[in-house]
Structure 1
Amino acid sequence: MPTALSSTDARSRARSEFAWWRPVRDVGYLLQFRAAAVRRRSAFRWSALLLLLITAAVAIVPAYVPAEDDRRLEIAVLMPTAMAGIFAISIISAIASGGGRELISREQGVAFPVSPTTDHLGALLLAPLNIAWLIQAWVLLGASAYGALPARLITAQTVILLWLALATAAAQVIAWVVEAIRRRPHGIVAMRFVLVAIAGVALWIQLTGRTTETLDRIPTLSLWIAGIGGFELGWFSAVLLELVLLFCMVVLGAIPAILAARRLPHDELRAETDTHTPRPMPWTDLSALLRIDRASVWRAVPMRRGMAVLAIGPGLVAVVGGLPWSSVTVLPGLVVSGGALLFGVNAWCLDGRGLLWRENLPVAPGTVFTVRALVIAEFLAIASLVTILLASIRAGAPTTAELTALACTLIVVTLQVVGASMRWSDQRPYAVDLRSARATPAPPVMMVGYSARLALSTTFTGLLFSGLSRVPDPTVSLLVAVPCLAWSTVRLLRSRRRWIDPAERARIVTTVAA
């Protein structure tokens, strides 16, 4: 009579079944599990095909665009810096998410024996499903095709594609190391000192005029030279080096991932075990709901980390680059669109099962919707204001037209994104546990679509008001802002009517609380 394998025989069974291959096999199972949960499979296939076609077009078409040799040379000279830039941004993104995005949520992972190595490999596969990563990859591939001649296109793009994979894998290794350190005693304080020191060094390099000297020493220069050199020995050596380093980074990332998995994250543990002193009872339903929603947002670990990255990151870039006020006008749109992706696109997911309790409160449904929209707008506005304050350090004194355009941009993009977020939250709710710093409010594929639409609309709005900031009369910005605000308000009110409908609200509540 056959019997099941006992836990004491796991070691011998692992040896006989090639334990090193098990994480790869488990990732395949998890991908099948996630694919089975896709609601509209035909739309998913068309979206994947569209992304592949866009990537292929970006990587090929710019090489055949007529251009002067001097212009191509300028782009080619900037390529090593761009390669280093995407590596830095990949590191920041992976650290902010605590090692990378989850292939399977923590609650679902309870029923599946997901090892840290499997988690590490799954996070690597999800890294490209990020609109920020995709846009940067497209820009890098397009610049590479434009800077290289058509005869060198294959060799150059091979080096760039391998570099994108290598930079993503190396960034995740660094992120896992940081997360393992953060989970040790006093690890959070130690990492804050390290981040402040790195920011200080970068600022010192920029202020002392050594930026060009530092960029000339970037190792990516030799890789780019080998890529545009054609099928020569240097190219084969560069490709082989990237492949070896890529394999080493993928394997090496499992070590800090295992070390991090052995300890509980301090931030999440503190958020779940902290005690809070009760405050006096609020006077109105509106103030009571505001207090609840603010606490659910500001006490969540992903919200605090995301706020820090979104608010401080673009602001530091503006300080180092010395952006003028006409360029600063574009920043609020980027910050607001990124902030909505933290929870706004699925705004009711923060309640989880608590949304059932919220529905039993003697409060009007319209008040609940209004409070949630106000909290999202408050969160996005604070992040944008921090970015603007940092950017103002070196931007100088703004003119009346520039200040008016900046204020109009902030108000318009905030209302625009809040309206879109509440609309998507009503149309496509998801049951998500946002207690983990690595969680996302929607499936990865949906997040790509949300981020693409938000980035497109907010960037267009920012560029529009950036141009209007150069108009001497500030009234022009106000006149353009009025119809934009009216349109966003109408769409927000439509979403509010949908939420007030009992049948629609029941569908949202049962989905989120599932």
Structure 2
Amino acid sequence: MPIAPSSTEAAPAVREYAGSAAPWAPAEIRRAVADTRHLLRFRAGTVRRPAVVRTAWLLLVGLTTAAVVGPALAPGAGGDGMAFNTFLLLPTFMVGFLGLTIAAAIASGGGRELLSGEHAVSHPISPTTDHLGALLMAPLNIGWIIQAWFLLGATTFAHGWDAFPWLLSIMVLWIVAATALGQVVAWSVEAVRRRRHGVVVVRTSGVALALFLGWLQVAGHLSTVLDAVPTLQLVVAGLQGFSASWVGAIAALLAITAVALVLGGAACHAAVRRMTRDEVKVETKHFQARPTPSSPWLVLVRIDRASVWRAVPMRRGMLVLAVGPGLIAFAGSLAWDNIVILPGLVASGGALLYGVNAFSLDGRGGLWRESLPVDPMHVWTARSWVMAEWLLFASLITVFLASLRAGAPTASEAAAIVCLVLVVTVQVVSAAMRWSVRRPFAVDLRSARATPAPPTVMVGYSAKLALSTTLTAMVFSTASWAAPWPVVVLLALPFLAWSVTAWVRAGLVWTDASARAVVVTTVAA
């Protein structure tokens, strides 16, 4: 039996594996676009309730339209006063959007996964496809959406109806270009992180950059640096209407986006060819056994605490969530009535890292944990306790950084910040645990880019958490200057009672054997 083609036989066609071609090769780009289209159709086919998704998309389009048109109809839009001040800050807002996009992408290791790494083993896709998927999934993030809404709304409020369509088109293209640039930086950082000593290099560079920005702010040079950023020229070009400057700005943004797409693919190729050091280090590291706790509940708390703090996406996300808003508040010298808004946003973001599908961290180990002879309510309270620790830790870091330049708070302000941190923590834990029981998902959270639920579901969770915590924060922010501190404390009691009652009801669902079996078998699938 011949084992190789003879000289008279035609040589078989050699098929390249996914990603073997250069990221800028036309064949690679065509294949990546086709694969991305197939993956999107696959994602759409796995939706449990398509009608709800269609409704969500219509709602998203409606809210985006309202965010753009609504500020233009507001009193004072396009005039002097607040509108003029907003106009002066537009270039800075554009820089801020770019910075937040880069930070979010770096924290998630380049972006969100269109296809999980576990599934990509049997269905290999090229790094270019992974890069395109990350770009398409980036807007399905409530942080990105809110920032984009804010930037578009600030544009129409600052310039009124004259912003349509010239200045507004520049802002839309800037949002696209900034998202693409964020992915380039994120994939590049991920490629460095996966090299030898790359983790130390990335962490040292991050600390050095934070110290440098802090020095610029303290020394009073930050405004000078921001004025030198080319975003000012983009805003000026948009003010001139249809002109050579506007055409040049549009062409420049399109060119930046095209170059970023290619560079992002190249950086993604460089990243995926290297070992994921953070994830591998956690999975291969040996941990010394510690004395057994005195009660089963403490054993469960220790297991849950280790599963959270040893997970790479948890640590990275926590760093961005806790430090980012605190540094922004520090740089802006926010007053205490504005700092009160921050803990709610931080708690919402912390729950989105894993809390909305809290039992997914067990994975296949959930079957083993369910076989342990412990009270199901102990499992429920232990998981809730660890999540509360997680959210409190992030909120306290943010408040500490923000307080460094806020001065001494009054008694009402101190009571408001303490009560709000407690209220939003209980509020978010209650909501997250309810969703974890009612809508479990099978996900692999070992990857730094994984999310605890499908992207469309995450958008809904993000919106609900952001809305509830923001409204609660506004109530306490108003009370911090309009009411004495005993009233502020009493104001927290109804919020706590409502959240605790909902948490207890969800716990009773968890204690039901059939409902618990559905959750465990789903997350272990």
TM-score range (shorter-chain normalised) is over 0.9
- The question of 1:22 aligning with 2:34 is answered no
Corresponding residue of 1:409: 420
Q: Is the 8 A contact 1:102 1:122 kept in 2?
A: yes
- The question of 1:40 aligning with 2:49 is answered yes
Match of 2:359 among 343, 348, 357: 348
Corresponding residue of 1:94: 105
- The question of 1:59 aligning with 2:44 is answered no
Which runs of structure 2 are paired with 1:69-468 in the superposition (5 Å)? 69-468=80-479
Change in 2 beyond 3 A, CA 1:203/1:77: same
What is the alpha-carbon distance in structure 2 between the residues aligned to residue 4 and residue 205 of structure 1? Answer: 59
Per-residue deviation, 1:4 = 8.8
SS in 1 for 2:125: coil
Q: Deviations over 1:319-352 (max 9, x none)?
A: 2222222222221111111100000000000001
Per-residue deviation, 1:397 = 2.0
What is the alpha-carbon distance in structure 2 between the residues aligned to residue 153 and residue 36 of structure 1? Answer: 37
Identity of paired residues, percent?
Answer: 51
Per-residue deviation, 1:411 = 0.8
What is the alpha-carbon distance in structure 2 between the residues aligned to residue 196 and residue 433 of structure 1? Answer: 30
Change in 2 beyond 3 A, CA 1:16/1:40: same
What is the alpha-carbon distance in structure 2 between the residues aligned to residue 63 and residue 473 of structure 1? Answer: 38
Q: Is the 8 A contact 1:430 1:512 kept in 2?
A: yes
Q: Deviations over 1:350-388 (max 9, x none)?
A: 001111111100001111111101110011011111112
Per-residue deviation, 1:427 = 0.8
What is the alpha-carbon distance in structure 2 between the residues aligned to residue 8 and residue 401 of structure 1? Answer: 64
What is the alpha-carbon distance in structure 1 between the residues aligned to residue 325 and residue 82 of structure 2? Answer: 28
Unaligned runs of 5+ residues in structure 1 are none
Q: Is the 8 A contact 1:430 1:511 kept in 2?
A: yes
Q: Is the 8 A contact 1:63 1:153 kept in 2?
A: no
Match of 2:512 among 497, 501, 513: 501
- The question of 1:31 aligning with 2:59 is answered no
Per-residue deviation, 1:472 = 5.5
Q: Is the 8 A contact 1:62 1:146 kept in 2?
A: yes
Amino acid of the structure 2 residue aligned with 1:210 = H
What is the alpha-carbon distance in structure 1 between the residues aligned to residue 81 and residue 391 of structure 2? Answer: 42
What is the alpha-carbon distance in structure 1 between the residues aligned to residue 19 and residue 298 of structure 2? Answer: 56
Corresponding residue of 2:9: none
Q: Is the 8 A contact 1:152 1:229 kept in 2?
A: no
Amino acid of the structure 1 residue aligned with 2:243 = E
Q: Is the 8 A contact 1:268 1:301 kept in 2?
A: yes
Per-residue deviation, 1:233 = 1.1
What is the alpha-carbon distance in structure 1 between the residues aligned to residue 387 and residue 24 of structure 2? Answer: 51
Change in 2 beyond 3 A, CA 1:461/1:195: same
SS in 1 for 2:452: coil
Q: Deviations over 1:405-447 (max 9, x none)?
A: 1111011100000000000001110001000110000011111
SS in 1 for 2:481: coil
TM-score by length of 2: 0.94
What is the alpha-carbon distance in structure 2 between the residues aligned to residue 471 and residue 45 of structure 1? Answer: 43
Q: Is the 8 A contact 2:18 2:125 kept in 1?
A: no
Q: Is the 8 A contact 1:339 1:380 kept in 2?
A: yes
Q: Is the 8 A contact 2:18 2:126 kept in 1?
A: no
Using the TM superposition, name which of 471-480 and 85-94 deviates more.
471-480
What is the alpha-carbon distance in structure 1 between the residues aligned to residue 286 and residue 173 of structure 2? Answer: 48
What is the alpha-carbon distance in structure 2 between the residues aligned to residue 11 and residue 242 of structure 1? Answer: 30
Per-residue deviation, 1:151 = 3.6
Using the TM superposition, name which of 381-390 and 253-262 deviates more.
381-390
Q: Is the 8 A contact 1:330 1:466 kept in 2?
A: yes
Provide the alpha-carbon RMSD of the alignment. Answer: 2.2
Per-residue deviation, 1:55 = 1.2
Using the TM superposition, name which of 340-349 and 317-326 deviates more.
317-326
Change in 2 beyond 3 A, CA 1:399/1:37: same
Change in 2 beyond 3 A, CA 1:361/1:213: same
Unaligned runs of 5+ residues in structure 2 are 1-11
What is the alpha-carbon distance in structure 2 between the residues aligned to residue 304 and residue 326 of structure 1? Answer: 29
SS in 2 for 1:18: helix
SS in 2 for 1:341: helix
Where has structure 1 moved over 3 Å in runs of 4 or more? 3-12, 14-17, 68-71
Q: Is the 8 A contact 1:352 1:513 kept in 2?
A: yes
Using the TM superposition, name which of 300-309 and 187-196 deviates more.
187-196
Change in 2 beyond 3 A, CA 1:88/1:223: same
Q: Is the 8 A contact 1:434 1:441 kept in 2?
A: yes
Amino acid of the structure 2 residue aligned with 1:45 = R
Per-residue deviation, 1:156 = 1.1
What is the alpha-carbon distance in structure 1 between the residues aligned to residue 517 and residue 201 of structure 2? Answer: 47
Amino acid of the structure 2 residue aligned with 1:37 = T
Change in 2 beyond 3 A, CA 1:27/1:510: same
